[in-house]
Amino acid sequence: MSELVRIQVKGLTKQYRLGEVGTGTLSHDLNRFWHKLRGKEDPYSIVTENNDRTIQTHSKYTWALDDINFEVKEGEVLGIIGRNGAGKSTLLKILSKVTGPTSGNIKINGRIASLLEVGTGMHPELTGKENVYLNGAILGMTKKEITSKFDEIVEFSGIAKYIDTPLKRYSSGMRVRLGFAVAAFLEPEILIVDEVLAVGDAEFQRKAIGKMKEVSGESGRTVLFVSHNMGAIRNLCDRSVLMENGKITFIGPTEDAISKYLNLNAQNQETNLLKVTNRIGNGKLQFSGIRLQDKEENLKSEIFTGDFLRIAIDFVKNKELDTSSIILAINLRNAFDENILFYVSDEMGVKFKCINGKKGTFVLEFPSLMLRPGRYNIRLLAMENDTAFENFLDNIDNAKSIEVLPTDFYHSGKILREETCAHLDAKLFIIE
């Protein structure tokens, strides 16, 4: 990778005034100017409220970005991840010069092409063809240069039939296809892509990710990529930035950034299954909690295909119930309520040890959970001695769900499609 720094950001902040259309008022601007003349600090920069949307604020101001520092080198693909409202899109808008910062320094070395929102930089009354030439001219390219790339742009976007149709007639997906093709093929030194790719279909997303990989690797262009698709981030980016409440909380290897992000998204408390009312069973044993964990027992709500997964199922029971007589069934179903995985303890040759106390934990471990991308619901069922209905101890549908994220599992450059597939290897046991 080249040592040339394409983007350098130091001490970047962005402040918004809540409840206002603009960023301030005339009285505030005059007050700021008066303080500046006297060499005093900006009176509206002394704000303690951060960008945590979960907390009700009493200030008229909030920091959308607070002390952002990083740099991106030529040929690097930098991922930017974080929950909604973390400040990702605000950062990209400032770098794209859509809006200005409150303070800080930004140095950009090269032409920027940005794809921030559907239709950004395109005129709805102009045809697709006219918009291609318009965007090329904005990037400083000659008509001859644009013409040399035009056929590739149209072919990649897949909208040749409508290229002479006004943009206002395009669907959002068509606009994204054309916008991305223009940004990628007109050869800017820096390509900035927001979550807008989520609008396109799965096949186009794969093409777009492949193209970004190509332009960074072969052409040495710099890419900033914001996405909630952790499979795409993992496949495309060697280094990533994790943002939370307007701050950078981590910058480094993508695997570490994703791990921290997924832990951030995991539920902070265990699911209390004792509050579930639509359950079936005689109540001698009741499921009381369920936790999804990694090898270090960190809580998880999302994993990648092939990751280790530990399902810890807490229970309470009558003291006289012999746990060695329990048959446990754990069922994973897809979004269509189809059975994908079904584990029954007696079929697995598992006989639980006797627990004399009133509570314990069943543990099901998957060394490598081979589920394709999608959301899976977990059903729990416990029976005594056999599987007859009258022997049901407890039965809970949809006790919890797990999101399996798309990734390039086979390292083929292709992200797994969302289709039903499962691997059956697992280990089941009980602990006090």
Q: What is the mean pLDDT of each run of 10 residues along the chain (432 residues)?
A: 84 74 55 69 53 52 87 92 86 87 90 72 87 83 88 89 91 84 82 72 74 78 86 86 93 90 63 87 94 91 90 93 94 83 91 89 92 89 90 92 84 70 66 78
Classified by CATH at the fold level, domain 5-10+66-264 comes out as Rossmann fold (3.40.50)
**For the domain bounded by 271-431, which CATH number is listed?**
2.70.50.60
- Structure tokens that stand for 318 in this block: 């009558």
* Annotated domain spans of the chain: 5-10+66-264, 271-431
For position 48, what pLDDT does the model report?
Answer: 45
- Greatest Cα-to-Cα distance within the chain, rounded to the nearest angstrom: 86
For position 119, what pLDDT does the model report?
Answer: 57
CA distance 379 to 395: 8
How many Cα atoms are found within 13 Å in the side-chain-facing hemisphere of 92? Answer: 27
CA distance 275 to 260: 30
For position 252, what pLDDT does the model report?
Answer: 94
Model-wide pTM > 0.85: no
252-273 exposure pattern, b = at least 16 Cβ within 10 A, e = fewer = eebeebbbbbbebebeeeebeb
- Structure tokens that stand for 199 in this block: 């609008």
